[in-house]
Amino acid sequence: MKKNLYRIKPISMMVFWVVLHLCIWPASIMALGAVMLPIIWIFGPILGTLSEIWLLLLVLIAVPISGAIVGLVVGRIQRWLLRNKLYWAADRWTIFSMLGGAVGALMVFGWAFIDDWLALTSDNEIFFTLLAMAIFIVSMSFFQMFTLNDAVKKAWVWVVANIIGGIVFVGVIHNNQTTYYEYYSFKNSVLIPLLAAFAHAIITGYLMLFLFEKHLHPMQPENADELHDERPKSVWDKAI
């Protein structure tokens, strides 16, 4: 029994990965609402009295904070999976997810400014929203790659997986939209987004599983400190 304590179970890992990733966006929306709505309620009355420069400054503060909140939700959910299904402590996963979320939110804000200036997607708000989400996801995965590199080789594959997953996510939703009047139907507002999130989770979950099964760093010997072994530690050197 002890021998199988840290044996990865692929089917269980994939099931948990997909199910929990379907909960990420609803959980993120609730977390954003819980933090931002009270702030808006308290400071809302004075916003109309501020100059454009102060409003821009507040936006530049609020945007990365919002991204970090989403990164916190994503990081906590994924860290639970990494610890309990792939047996890696993932100590810095949440903080790197928050950093990636903050930077991603600023990138999306910059993209919105450029898009508005050049009128790139002025006739397609749905595509703009989906592209913004893809930018955010890729930014977060890029930051996560730096801590993932502690556990596996070829950690850059995680970023590639999220790029592919982001493209599929955007494609599934964008190619299944019908008319404007059906945009808020149950199919378009619930079923299609769930299908897109499911596809994204399958891609990222499979790639993460592949990395931990095939590309773990080699385990250090017990006397590594005495031998001054500088090899990266394996996931098993710090298994939970």
Are 86 and 235 within 8 A, CB to CB?
A: yes
Residue type, 226: E
pLDDT at 7: 82
pLDDT at 179: 55
Q: Select from 61, 32, 58, 56 the least CA-distant residue to 113.
A: 56
Could you tell me if residue 34 is inside a domain?
yes
Q: What is the mean pLDDT of residues 213-222?
A: 73
Could you tell me if residue 99 is inside a domain?
yes
Residue 220: DSSP 8-state: P
| pLDDT above 90: residue 159 | yes
Range of the domain at 70: 9-217
Number of other residues whose CB lies within 10 A of the CB of residue 201? 20
pLDDT at 192: 84
**Rounded Cα gap, residues 199 and 18, in angstroms:** 9
Backbone phi, then psi, for 152, in 5-degree steps? -130, 155
Could you tell me if residue 4 is inside a domain?
no
pLDDT at 38: 83
**Rounded Cα gap, residues 134 and 68, in angstroms:** 16
pLDDT at 177: 66
What residue has token string 């890729």? 138
Element (H, E) at 188: none
Could you tell me if residue 3 is inside a domain?
no
Number of other residues whose CB lies within 10 A of the CB of residue 146? 13
Are 152 and 207 within 8 A, CB to CB?
A: no
| pLDDT above 90: residue 52 | no
Which residue would you say has higher pLDDT here, 230 or 177?
177
Give the CA distances from residue 190 to residues 22, 24, 25, 173, 205, in Å, rounded to whole numbers and listed in that order: 11, 14, 12, 11, 22
| pLDDT above 80: residue 213 | yes
Look at phi and psi of residue 87 and say left if phi exceeds 0, alpha if psi is from -120 to 50, else beta. left
Are 141 and 117 within 8 A, CB to CB?
A: no
Q: Quote the number of domains for the chain.
A: 1
Could you tell me if residue 163 is inside a domain?
yes
Which residue would you say has higher pLDDT here, 61 or 209?
209
CA 112 to chain centre: 20
Mean pLDDT (the chain) is 81
Could you tell me if residue 223 is inside a domain?
no
Q: What is the mean pLDDT of residues 208-216?
A: 92
Virtual CA dihedral for 16, 19, 22, 24, nearest 10 degrees?
-40
Could you tell me if residue 1 is inside a domain?
no
Are 172 and 199 within 8 A, CB to CB?
A: yes
The whole-model pTM stands at 0.81
pLDDT at 223: 47
pLDDT at 77: 96
Give the CA distances from residue 158 to residues 8, 140, 151, 178, 195, in Å, rounded to whole numbers and listed in that order: 18, 11, 12, 33, 21
pLDDT at 184: 63
Could you tell me if residue 122 is inside a domain?
yes
Q: What is the mean pLDDT of residues 86-110?
A: 93
